[in-house]
Structure 1
Amino acid sequence: MDRHAGRGDEIPGTSDPVTRLSLDVLAEAASTPPPGALARLLPAARSARPPAPAAGFAAPFAARVAAMDALLASATPADWAQKIVEGWTLQELVAHLAATDGLVANAIGAAVAGPPLAADEVLSRTADMIAYTGGRRPEETRVEWRAQAETICARAAAMEPGTPIAPGGIQFPVSDHLLARMLETWIHTDDAATVIGLPLPLPLAAHIHPTADFCARLIPWTMLLSGVDGGERSVRLTLTGPGGGAWHVPLSVARVAAPDDGAPSDAQITCDVVEFCFLLGGRGTPEAFAARIEGDEGLAREVLRCAPALSGP
């Protein structure tokens, strides 16, 4: 599936992602979507609940939840049983999202969906959630996942974005954890849409940009986790397309990436913003990743090779 098909940010006056999903599906008609896709997704997009009100930093996550919910509203019994990714059916994938969201919910004092939280760890919590949903109807899994996500957004609205939390033992500001949830929800929605054969519009550019910023700031950590010492070196990262931008990225975790100010760098990487976010999220092949590179090509390729290091299932 072309991740750039049906760009919702090209349709003015449609900030609500569910409305955009409907309009984007209509726009897809000219590009021959899969047979039956329009008949299935358009009514679902219209009937899915709109996103719950969210604080500014929670809005990208809330919008991706709404988009996934619209996709789930169109799912047939056969779709729910399809293997999507990691050997999980669509219902198990939603259980996984609920499990990972649940670690964030627990960290901020929001209600946690599913059985009591036995371990603050993604894989074991996913196993518990999949076991819990095994005897339940897919619609029940969808409702519980969606309700928990809305509770997270509502609780986050009362928090300062810089408040540190550590779900799964990983400490970042709450705003960054919600961007991480946005990215994973976006990627898994794309996984599901690809397998089921439904068109999926991109997020708003205003939601892609903070997610791209988060990905840029993760680069020194992906290098460190991969056993690569960035030292005092840096790269200039230019991400093209709606929601993109340019960053000066020091490769030491002691310093933080910032919007590009023209400071010298050892290498320059220019690539598509959506593809870069998906690379960080574990999609794509680093060795074959399409990018224009200037300066130290070996360093730039090392950055791209290490990019998926923090991605999980």
Structure 2
Amino acid sequence: MTNDHDGVRELLAAWAVGALLPGDERTVFSHLARCETCAAEAERLRATVRLLNGTPDPGPASAGADGVLALALRTRRPRTPEVAPHAAPYAAAVAGLQALVGELDGRWSTPVVHDWDAHATVAHLVAADEHLAVRLGLDARVPASRIPEGSRPGEAWNRRTADVIAHEHGRTPEETVATWAAQATALLATPEARDPELAARAVTLMGLRLPIADHYVVRAFETWIHTDDIGRAVGLPVPPPPDEHLRLLVRLAVRILGLALQGAPPVFLEVTGVPEARWVLGSDAEPVTAELTLNPVDFCLLVGGRYAPEEVPRAETGDQGAVRNVLERAAALAWL
């Protein structure tokens, strides 16, 4: 493939007749979401195939090839201000959720995760994004909570998200989506989203002190995880983040995991498909006792609390107890 356009154009004919290989579906989706020229060509090919077959268009919520295009077309939104690389994963995750919510008419009460339905899951993201938004000078978009002074971060977080969900359940899902989308757009328009120097300043949110740039990556991580939660609940596949975004998610998660494993029996961790994604986690005063290999999506789902430690697909050798410790610590990082 000589370039991205040429590569996708080679795949569009297969897409139009429903013959894409599984690995190519994500490539097509990601490109159509950001390229109006190829998306228009995809629409033309689909219309031609349906005309030749004499079949009607099944609508945007259909599975297979048409579902890929439907979600991709809904991902294309009016251009937001250019963002720096640290905010690009969040911008893409926001676009992905915007694509998905357009498919949820009549399905907002579907159970999704924890005790939340689809409506509550989007309301949760209003509360989750609010921490960074307020720290960057944006106004809160829902009424304040009465959180006792001295509450631990986890307790304060649980109270706030419960209050926001209760408030949003008194509104329509469309109103909740509009509130979430407006806040996300405002976050992507801040100077910190566009200027890496401004985003280098460290702040503490939910008990976690990180540069603002990393907090944007955290927001991307959580937005994608919950988009995937909703997609699984309603039977609509959600592609994982593009490779360049996965790299940022993986590297941040490993940094935080490394802090949690200080002094633990050392384990060599490799995340496949991510350049230079090899680390020794744990004590630096002992020899490595085990090796653990995960793919990047499974690793992120583990850290996001979507895999139990014993269930995540992996390859391992050496001390099983040391590996289990790494997997359990990774799963314990989840707050989503």
Q: Residues 186, 244 of structure 1: CA spacing in aligned structure 2 closer, same or farther, 3 A cutoff?
A: farther
- Match 2:241 to one of 194, 203, 216: 203
**Alpha-carbon separation, structure 2, partners of 1:66 and 1:167:** 24
Tell me if the contact between 2:268 and 2:278 (Cα under 8 Å) persists in the aligned partners. yes
Q: Which moved more, 1:46-55 or 1:8-17?
A: 8-17
**Alpha-carbon separation, structure 1, partners of 2:221 and 2:24:** 17
**Alpha-carbon separation, structure 2, partners of 1:43 and 1:13:** 12
Match of 1:171 in 2: 209
The percent of aligned pairs where both chains have the same amino acid is 34
Q: Secondary structure at the match of 2:323?
A: helix
**Alpha-carbon separation, structure 2, partners of 1:232 and 1:9:** 37
Tell me if the contact between 2:97 and 2:227 (Cα under 8 Å) persists in the aligned partners. yes
Letter paired with 1:246: A
Q: Residues 218, 51 of structure 1: CA spacing in aligned structure 2 closer, same or farther, 3 A cutoff?
A: farther
Does the alignment pair 1:76 with 2:105? yes
* Deviation readout 1:225-264 (Å, 9 max, x if unpaired): xxxxx427533211123x4642223426xx9xxxxxxxx7
Q: How far did 1:122 drift?
A: 2.0
**Alpha-carbon separation, structure 2, partners of 1:246 and 1:142:** 36
Match of 2:73 in 1: 46
Unaligned runs of 5+ in 1: 27-33, 224-229, 256-263
Match of 1:251 in 2: 282
Q: Residues 281, 116 of structure 1: CA spacing in aligned structure 2 closer, same or farther, 3 A cutoff?
A: same
Match of 2:266 in 1: 234
**Alpha-carbon separation, structure 1, partners of 2:99 and 2:83:** 18
TM-score normalised according to structure 2 size: 0.74
Match of 1:85 in 2: 113
Q: Residues 287, 40 of structure 1: CA spacing in aligned structure 2 closer, same or farther, 3 A cutoff?
A: closer
Match of 1:100 in 2: 128
Q: Secondary structure at the match of 1:282?
A: coil
TM-score normalised according to structure 1 size: 0.79
**Alpha-carbon separation, structure 2, partners of 1:13 and 1:186:** 14
Match of 2:12 in 1: none
Does the alignment pair 1:213 with 2:231? no
Higher relative contact order (CA closer than 8 Å, sequence separation 6+) = 1
Unaligned runs of 5+ in 2: 1-20, 44-59, 148-152
- Match 2:319 to one of 293, 296, 308: 296
Q: Residues 244, 305 of structure 1: CA spacing in aligned structure 2 closer, same or farther, 3 A cutoff?
A: farther
Alpha-carbon RMSD: 3.3
Tell me if the contact between 1:6 and 1:199 (Cα under 8 Å) persists in the aligned partners. no
Q: Secondary structure at the match of 1:186?
A: helix
Q: Residues 274, 244 of structure 1: CA spacing in aligned structure 2 closer, same or farther, 3 A cutoff?
A: farther
Q: Secondary structure at the match of 1:57?
A: coil
Q: How far did 1:60 drift?
A: 0.4
**Alpha-carbon separation, structure 2, partners of 1:18 and 1:199:** 21
Match of 2:332 in 1: 309
- Match 1:129 to one of 143, 164, 172: 164
Alignment length (residue pairs)? 285
Q: Residues 309, 151 of structure 1: CA spacing in aligned structure 2 closer, same or farther, 3 A cutoff?
A: same
The structure with the larger Rg is: 2
* Deviation readout 1:110-149 (Å, 9 max, x if unpaired): 2332223655732111112112212212111111101111
Tell me if the contact between 2:33 and 2:73 (Cα under 8 Å) persists in the aligned partners. no
